[in-house]
Structures are given as C-alpha cells and as structure tokens.
Structure 1
Amino acid sequence: MPTADVSARPAVPGDEEAIAAIQLAAWRERIGAEAVDALPGDEVLAAWGAAIESPPSREHRVFVATDGPHVVGFAALASAGEIIALEVAPEHRRRGHASRLLAACVDTLRITGGTSVRAWALEGDTAREAFLTGAGLGEGGVRRGMEGPDGEMAERMFRAELGE
C-alpha cells in the first residue's frame, strides 16, 4: 500500500522511542546537554509509552510527524486544547512537520468540540514564537515559571480561538 512521503498521524505503540529521542534532543538545545544527560532516559521513554497506550483522559492525544517510515516530530495535546509538547528533530526542521502537527491538534480539537488552542514558548525562543504567531496564535497574556538547570525559566502562552 502506498504511503505519503510526509504526514502527521496518531502515535502508536513503538513510536515512543523516536518521540523520547526527539524530546531529549530538543531539551538538549534549550537547557543544555549536561542537564539532559542527568535525566533518566528510561523514564522519559516509559512516560511516552504510557501517554500513547493509556492516556490520562479521552482529550489527551499524541501525534507524530513522519518522513517516509521515520518519525521526525511529535505533538502532545492535553485537556482544554493545550498543546503540551510540539517538537521536530533538528535535522528535519523547516520542512512543514511542525505545521502538520499543529494542524492535527487543531483538527482534533474542532472535531471534538474544542473552541481554542493554547501552546507555550520559552521566553527568548524566537523561532517557536515566530512559528506560533505565524500559525495564527497570539500572545495569551500568561507567563509561567519553572525550575531549570540554571535557575528559573519562564514560558509564555500563545492562544487562538477556533472558528467555524
């Protein structure tokens, strides 16, 4: 059966290895190799496996972007239209994968009656901010802090109302 060269689809068991590797690579860029190397990789892998096989609610979904048979990105959608993760492997960026993942999240929200979508960007992550605003999300006026390896890190929320 022929398949698309690039696509986004729901994650299935077995995708968690690629998802964990992509997430750790993204974190390595954002918070540093030393901090990521100290993380228990097996726990990250297990968490993604659980998210795929037994999500915490019916609203939680995990999607993957593929290039041929390879998983090259992922998005995780939680309750109330919140995208809690959206990452593409560094060597596969700027090829439309993040846009396909965002579209999968928004399409799912529309089908299930969602009225808005929210996503977060670390302060200073200008590439992610540009992607989110270019996709039609605006600053949501909310900032949250979290503990990082070198002290507090802050994220800003971006959001959009979903029209008909």
Structure 2
Amino acid sequence: MAAQGTGPTADVSVRVAWADDAAAVARVQVATWPEQYAGLVDPADVPSGPEVEERAAEVWRTSMVSPGDARNRVLVALERNRVVGFAVTAPGTDPDCDPVADGELLEICVAPDDRRLGHGSRLLQAAADTLVADRFTRAVTWLRAEDDVRRRFLTEAGWAPDQAHRELEGPGGVRAKQVRLHTALA
C-alpha cells in the first residue's frame, strides 16, 4: 500500500544494456538523428528507415558483445521494459586525457517522445556512477557548440566547459564545431 499523500510511482530504471537491446538502442539513435544533424545536412539526407535501424542494431550488438575495453559501457533507460534512451561511457580518448583517470560520456540520447520525464537525468547519474565504479575521477563529453539545450542540461548537472574545442568535418565538407565539458566524479 502506498504511503498516504503519494501516488503510484512510474516503473522506470537504468541498467547495463544487453545484446538483445541493440535493436531498441538503434531505434532511439535513429529517431534522434534529425535533430542531431539539423543544420549540418539537408533533412532529406538524414539516414532513416528499417534498413538503417537494422545496420545500426548490428553495430550496437557487436559493440555490446565485444566492447574492446571492459570499461566501454552502454546503459539503457527503461520505462517498464521499453528502452527509451541510452548512454555510452568509455575511457577518455582525447590526447590531453589520462586514460586511467578520465572517463568519457560518448553519447546520451533519449527518444524524442520520452523527453522531460527524467530519463536523461537518470541516465546521466547512472553514467557518472558507472564511471566512478570504473575508477575514473573525471568525466568529459563533447557537444555541438550551438547545442544550448544539451549544454544547459549538463551544466545544471554540474558539468562545465574546460576550454577545449574542436571542429569535425562531416558529409559534403560540412564542419561541426564542438566544445568539451567536464566534471569531477565523486
């Protein structure tokens, strides 16, 4: 029986991904591509469709089964048994990162229809906890310089710019400017 004054709680959680989650992770990833590629490529050129999801699922399945480094992790956010988001953590790979002390949040995505329900915050906390369990003392992540929504989300969670920046070249010579944020891990 629920305590007086409280309602039922949502059945939400975060856990380490299983190989069987690969298709669901790919669906979330492909669903977020239109906004991730916005301003970089023509919307008609953003890959989509079942064949794209199938190829992405195979890449995810392979990375989950054979991660290359035991500290490469994929976490999934669940609502009941449905994958609604994912995060990827690994050792930091930047030249100025210490691969023993610095972990990296490579990606954090929540399906567009499942945002603003706390899944991103749960994923971010679980990613930080995972990096701590892997004995990292600092985390870094890269984001597009103009991604104010993601920057606000991360800075409100205690992340801050560390002055590192880079420019990546994409399809058709389009260049994407990125900034790096970091946080100390407790």
Please report the TM-score for the alignment, with normalisation by the length of structure 1. Answer: 0.90
Task: For 2:135 and 2:36, locate their aligned partners in 1 and report how far apart those are by CA, in whole Å.
Answer: 34
SS in 1 for 2:46: helix
Alignment of structure 1 residues 69-148 onto 2, 5 Å: 69-80=81-92, 81-148=103-170
**Which whole-Å CA distance do the structure 2 matches of 1:162 and 1:37 have between them?**
36
* RMSD (Å) for aligned C-alpha atoms: 1.8
Following superposition, the deviation at residue 22 of structure 1 comes to 1.1
If you compute each CA radius of gyration, which structure gives the higher value, 1 or 2?
2
Counterpart amino acid of residue 58 in structure 1: A
Matched residue SS, 1:124: coil
Structure 1's 111 and 149: CA in aligned 2 closer, same or farther, altered over 3 A?
A: same
Q: Structure 1: how far apart are the matches of 2:178 and 2:31? A: 19
Moved more, 54-63 or 22-31: 22-31
Instruction: Give aligned-pair identity as a percent.
Output: 36
Q: Would you say 1:34 and 2:44 are equivalent positions?
A: yes
Structure 2 residue 73 is the aligned partner of structure 1 residue 61: yes
CA shift for structure 1 position 7:
0.7
Offset, 1:38: 7.1
Secondary structure (helix, strand or coil) at the match of 1:37 reads coil
1:13 pairs with 2:23: no
CA contact (8 A) 1:26 1:90 kept: yes
| 2:37 aligned partner, one-letter code | I
- String of CA shifts for 1:94-144, please: whole Å, max 9, x gaps: 111111111111111212211011112112111100011011000021112
Q: Distance in 2 between matches of 1:87 and 1:54?
A: 22
SS of 2:19's partner is coil
Could you tell me how far apart the structure 2 residues matched to 1:26 and 1:59 are? 25
Distance in 2 between the 1:18 and 1:149 partners?
26
TM-score (ref. length: structure 2) = 0.80
Write the letter of the residue equivalent to 1:29.
E
Q: Is the 8 A contact 2:89 2:131 kept in 1?
A: no
What amino acid sits opposite 1:65 in the alignment? Answer: A
AA paired with 2:34? R
Matched residue SS, 1:94: coil
> Distance in 2 between the 1:43 and 1:18 partners?
12
Q: Secondary structure at the match of 1:59?
A: coil
Which consecutive segments of 4 or more residues in structure 1 shift more than 3 A? none
Alignment coverage as a number of residue pairs: 160
